[in-house]
Structure formats: structure tokens, C-alpha cells
Structure 1
Amino acid sequence: MISKYLVSLFLLISSQAVAQTSQVQIAQNSVGKLQASIANKEDFKKQLTIIAEGIKALELAKVDKKTKNWPETWALKAYLSSYIAIIDDNESNADKYYGLATEAYEKAKTLDKYQSNNALITAANHNINSKKQKDGNKAYQQNDFITSYKLLKQVSDYFQTDTTLAVNTAICAQNIQYYNEALTYYKRAKDNGIKNFFVFQYLANIYSSKFESELAIKTLEDGLVVNPYHPYLTNDYINLLLDNDKYDKALKIIEGSIATEKRSKLLLFLYGYLQQSELNNKPTAEIAFKNALDIDQNYFDALYQLGLVYINNSNDALKEKNKQKASSFINRAELTLLRAHEINPNDRNTIQLLIQIYTRKNKLDKVQELKRKLNEF
């Protein structure tokens, strides 16, 4: 990132500077030598020695009455100082020159009314932002998210197409509960083509927290385009559709997902739940719950809902005056819900269903036992 700007940098030397001062020329020559050093891949110590010559000359140029207000003087100082800030292993020295570079950069921008030093100023700004990014990343690793956010935000606003930078800025904002800012930078990453599933997931979560459900749904749909059938995105998408009563759409997504993820007990459960609650299709719901239990025989939710299917089937049989069929289904409900109760003994809904079953079976001792248990909660 750094060398690209340095190698391509060309010097715009005003005729006034050439004629009136040798110190500015020395600094300009240092930039030329530095470019050659970078091209030859010389080590940083050699580069620092070259820069030192230019910095020394600029210290004289900035107090000379002829050159102290020349934009060249400050553009060169900003550029050379900013380069020290990003290559010096001495952290204290790097920070010192970062401060000097920032000050010189602002002065150069003010003085350079005709943009004759634009290449130097642009390169200095690039280096300054690279230093900010380095410090921001360090703060991030130390969990200092406030400092990291302040720095990375500035850098991301400079390198606006850098998706990784935008995501790191968003994560920092999210960690300090700046959710609107997090939304801005996650969206920047998304708009610049990032494909990481968690960016779409986090974006959708933020939209949901702001009660912007349609935007959340659209974000997950966009995420699934670049991450087809991703389990986390698919689950979030289905749950969001269910939360917003979009049952038909949810059912189609679940059906399609089951075809690719045959061993997903959650998808099978959700499919059965929708068949049971929205379509009143008890036979299909029963098959789905049983398939989920084939994957995990201790799946409480599937056991509970399967018990409900059997109770409803028993009630339908009673309406048809088919006592034998009703008894058969109520027995299945009892066994299924007892298994659910064994897995989660403190679930009140399961206990209440068992009380209904034992009341129908006239097993009053069981009824009293379960009622006492309910009173203990």
C-alpha cells in the first residue's frame, strides 16, 4: 500500500524554490534517493539515513524567511516525517514524527493554494492514514474499542473501498454501542462487494433492533445470494420471516433448505411447526417431527410439538366418536410428553399437557402429583 504511492511519486519543483534555496533542494533530493532506495528494496535503516538528510535541511528551510512559508517546505516535511512514522521500529520516535507529519500536512494544504505540491501532500496523507490504521489495529487488539474506532473511522473514510477496514470500524462501533455508526460501516463494506456472511448477519440484526424489518429481510436475502444456503443466514432469514408472519415465504425457504441439509433437525422442526400451526397439516407435521427426532432423540421441542399433534389427533377422533383411535393417540401423546418431561422437567407447558392427559385417563394421583410440582415453581 505504501510503496505504490512512493514509487509513483514525482516532484513538482517550483522555479522559485530552485533559484532561492539549496536546503529545499536537499530535501527534494532526499525524496528522490528514497524512491530509488525503495525500488532497490534497501532496508529501513538505509532509508531512515536518507530521510534524515532531508529532515535536517527542512529544519533550516522552515526558519528561513524566504522558505518558511513555501508550500514545498511543508509538503516535503509532511511527506518525509510521515514516512518515518510508518517505518521506524522505535514506537516513541514513530509517534513523534506522526505528530510532526500531521502538523506539516495541515500547513502544506493551507499554503498550497495552486496544488503544485499535490503529489507530495497526497502521499503524506496516505502515510498518515497508514499510521492511524496501524495504531487503530493495535488498540483493537488491546480491546480499546473507543480509541480504535476513532482512528479506524478516519482511515476508512479515506480508504472508502477497503472492505476489511470498514468491517473492523463497524465492529469497534458495535462494541461501544454506536449502532448507527456500525450500520454505516457494515453497509459500506456490503456496498463495496464484501461476501463474508457475518456482515449481512450483523447488518440485519441492527436493522431488526431499529424495527426496520423489511431492510433486515432484504439484507439477509442479499447475503444468501452471495452465500447460498449458508446455515446461519438461512436460520436468521427463516426466523425473521416467521417473526413477521411471512409464513408462505418461510415455508418455501425451509423446503428448499431441507433438500440441501437433510440432517438439520432445526429445519425439520420448523417445517413441522408451520405445517401444524399454519396449515393444520398434522400428518406432514408428525413426519417432520419424527424425522427431527431420528437425528436427535432428545430434541425437546420436537417431542413437545409431536405430543401436541397426538393430542389434537385424539381430540379429532373423539369428535368422530372413534374412542379406540382417540385412546391410541392419547397414549402416544402420554409417552411422547413423558419423554419431553424427562428431558426438561421444569417446563410448565409440558406438565400442564400431562395433567390434561391424566385427567382424561382419570389418573387423579398423577394429576395431583403434577399439580404439586407446578406449585413448587
Structure 2
Amino acid sequence: MKKVLFSILFAGAATLAHAQKSEVADAKKEWGLFQITMNQKPSLEKTLAALNSGLKHTDNAIANEKSKNMPEAWSYRALFASAIAASDTTNFENSSAKQKIAEEAVAKAKELDTKGDEKANISTAEINISNAIKLRAFTAYNKKDYAGALKYFNEATEKNPSDTSMYLNAAIMARNIKNYPEAIKNFKKVISFNTPNAKDLYSEIINLSLSELKDTVGGIALLKEASAKFPDAEGFIQTETQLYINKGDIVKSEEMLNKLVAKDPKNPTYQYLMGDVYYQQAVEVQNKKNKLDSKKVKEANTMVTQITALLDKALPYYLKSSELDPKYAPALEALKRVYAFKNDTPKYEAVKKKLEALKP
């Protein structure tokens, strides 16, 4: 009698183990069927129903001692959960929850899959997880939920630290919600990859630092960084020079440009910018003069003398710039302004003709 009882118990245990392994087999079948039906472009409702059905089989498989350590149980669990995460565009909470399940399943599958048999499934699940995050990001963006989009784009960069497009998108979202430090951080990350648009992105973060954050110190640091990387970009040099002028740090402006001129004396841009150091000072004095009471003739005359002296300092550099490159319009425009102030009509007209000749 006991032998019969033991036989029945053993048969029951074997049947249960087989039943749990069949859950994995059913999950495989469900996945294969899902792959086929996807070509028919089923509705989201039907897609999610099919995927949830497959996921249920893996729930049963990992719940049992006999099958919980089967690599296949976890790799297919990762497939179903990640596919739901990447498919559910209507419920971000469900998408995120299934993504978490998929991530846990991927980690467990990698731990158990010592032979590498589930490598393809694991890779597909990881791609689905990445796509799920991007899908939520772009969906939020299309809804003009820029804060939500930023959250998901940042998550995407954490998953794939080499995806420059996600850093760029995160930066744009941060800029849209006026989170300028976050925008600068992400733009700088894109720059660090030496992308073709790095020069333009430097201009962007410099502008954000100076115009939005009013951070002159940070702006100058970025300008120096940009100038070192793009030494021929006159815009960076000009902006930094202007900042020193605005601060009244003429010595620093001259020092910086003198080094550049010494390094490349035949560069027309450097010569022009050197002249601009003095010209901008002249403009500042002119602005002060314009605000003077008309009765303060003596003070006005003193200022005219100062302006003339500064323009006289600027003039040789503008001339040198124009000599090095006769078609360099900024130098010609500067010369026109100087000659206009000095009432030197012949030279003014001559420069004007040169400028007109440059027009297409």
C-alpha cells in the first residue's frame, strides 16, 4: 500500500514539474505567435492582451521551484515585459512598471544563462527597454510636456551614455522649461563627443550662461574653452573681448588680443578685434558725452579729445586688417565709422565704394 502511495506522490511531483516547464514552452509559443500577428498590425488593446498573456506564463514559471532557475523563463519574461513597456503609449505608469519587470528579468537571465543560449532574447529585451524610454520621452514632447520629456530623455542617457542625440534632446527640453543649468550640462555632454555641431553648441551655452544666468565668470570660462577648441572662431574672441570691455578690464582685452596678434600677425580678424578694443572705449565715452548737459562745454570737449585719441589708436589696426584682407567687411565698416567721425570725406567715400563692391 505504501509503495502505491509513494508512486502516486512521485508521479504527481513529476507532473507538476512538467506543468511548470510547459509554462515556459507556452511562453515561447505565445512569443512566436505574437511575432507573426505583429505583421497584421493589431490594435494596441489586442497587442497588450497578447503580451500580458505571455507574461502570465512566465509569472507561473518563475513562481515554481522546478522552473524558477530556467534561463528561458527569465529571458522570455524580459521579452514580454519589455515589449509591453515599449508598446503602451497610453499608460506611462504601466509602461514604467513593465520596464522595471523587464530590467529585473534581464539581470536574472544574464545571471542564469551561463551558456549564452538566451543572448539574442536578452539583447532584444534591452533594445525594447531603451525604445520604451524613448517612446515615453517623445510622447511627452509631442504633448508639450517638456518637464516629463526631460525626465525620460535623462533616463535614456543613463541607459545609453554614448547616445548623443538623447543628451541633445534633454538639453533642448531643459532649455524649454528654462532649466538653464541642466540645459548647459547636457549641451556640454554633447560637445564632449566632438560632434560636428560642437561649435554651435558652444555658442548656445555661452549665450545661456551670459544672457539667462547672468554668469559672466562662467561665460568667460566657456569662451576660453571654446576658443581653445576653435581658435579661428572670431565670435568667441570678440565676445570675450567685449566682456572685458564691459567690465572695464581693458588691460585684459589688450593682453588677450596682443597674444593672438603675436601668434598670428597676418590674421585680419585679430587685427580688427584689436582695433575694436579702442573703438568700443570710444563708443563708451561718446555715450557719456551724449548724456552731458549742453552747458558743460568744457567736459564735452575733453571727451571729444578722448574719443579722437582712442579712434587714432584703433585706426592702424583696422587699416592693417583691411590690408591683410581687402574684402574683410567688418574692418571696412569700422574704417567707414572712424572716417565719418573724423569728417574725412575722401577716405569715407573710398571705403564706402569698397563695401559696395563686395555686395553680390
TM-score range, shorter chain: 0.5 to 0.7
State how 1:69-108 maps to structure 2 within 5 Å.
70=68, 73=73, 75-86=75-86, 91-92=89-90, 95=92, 98-108=95-105
CA gap of 1:33–1:295, structure 2 versus 1, over 3 A, is: same
Partner of residue 64, structure 2 = 66
Which amino acid in the other structure matches residue 108 of structure 1? Answer: A
Secondary structure of 1:211's match? helix
Q: Match of 1:144?
A: 145
How far 1:165 sits from its partner (Å)?
Answer: 1.6
Q: Give the letter for the 1:282 counterpart.
A: L
1:217 counterpart letter in structure 2:
K
Residue identity matched to 1:199: L
Give the Å deviation of 1:149. 0.9
> Does the CA contact (< 8 Å) of 1:30 and 1:53 recur in 2?
yes
Aligned to 2:175: 174
1:275 and 1:285 in contact (8 A); partners too:
no
For 2:234 and 2:149, the matched residues in 1 are separated by: 32
Number of the residue aligned with 1:217: 224
How high is the TM-score relative to the length of structure 1? 0.55
Amino acid paired to 1:148: A
- Name the Cα RMSD after superposition: 4.9
Q: Distance in 2 between matches of 1:46 and 1:202?
A: 43
Q: Is the 8 A contact 2:99 2:129 kept in 1?
A: yes
Would you say 1:273 and 2:283 are equivalent positions? no
CA 1:220–1:205 in structure 2 vs 1: closer, same or farther (change >3 Å)?
A: farther
Q: Tell me how far 1:202 sits from its aligned partner.
A: 2.5
Q: Is the alpha carbon distance of 1:98 and 1:274 closer, same or farther for their aligned partners in structure 2, counting shifts above 3 Å? A: same
- Partner deviation per Cα, 1:241-278 (whole Å, 9 max, x = no partner): 4535212245579976658xxxxxxx996464347659
Structure 1 unaligned residues grouped into runs of 5+ = 1-15, 260-266, 311-330, 337-377
Letter in 1 for 2:315: K
Taking only the aligned residue pairs, the percentage that are identical comes to 18
Residue aligning to 2:200: 198
Tell me, in whole angstroms, the C-alpha distance in 1 between the residues paired with 2:200 and 2:17: 54
CA deviation after TM superposition for structure 1 residue 154, in Å: 0.6
Query: 2:271, 2:320 within 8 Å by CA — same for their partners in 1?
Result: no
Distance 2:51 2:216 in 1: 54
Q: What is the deviation of 1:29? A: 3.8
CA 1:218–1:34: 2 relative to 1, 3 Å: same
Deviations 1:100-136 (A, max 9, x none): 5224225436755834367645543432231221221
Structure 1 residues 288-337: Cα deviation after superposition (integer angstroms, max 9, x where no partner) = 799999969xx6x76654455x3xxxxxxxxxxxxxxxxxxxx549xx8x
Q: Is the 8 A contact 2:133 2:156 kept in 1?
A: yes
Alpha-carbon distance between aligned partners in 2 of 1:282 and 1:123, rounded to the nearest angstrom: 67
Residue pair 1:86, 1:127 contacting (<8 A) in 2 also: yes
Q: Is the 8 A contact 1:132 1:155 kept in 2?
A: yes
2-structure distance, mates of 1:187, 1:129: 23
> How many pairs were matched up?
278
1:212-291 equivalence runs, <5 A: 212=218, 213-222=220-229, 224=230, 233-242=233-242, 243=244, 245=253, 246-249=256-259, 251=261, 258=268, 270=273, 272-274=275-277, 277=310, 280=313, 282-285=315-318
Local SS of the residue matching 1:280: helix
Please say if residues 105 and 121 of structure 1, whose CA atoms lie closer than 8 Å, have aligned partners that are also in contact.
no
Q: Given that residues 169 and 182 in structure 1 are in contact (C-alpha distance below 8 angstroms), is that contact kept between their aligned partners in structure 2?
A: yes
Alignment of 1:105-184 (within 5 A): 105-108=102-105, 114-116=111-113, 120-121=121-122, 123-184=124-185
> Shift of the alpha carbon at 1:53?
5.3
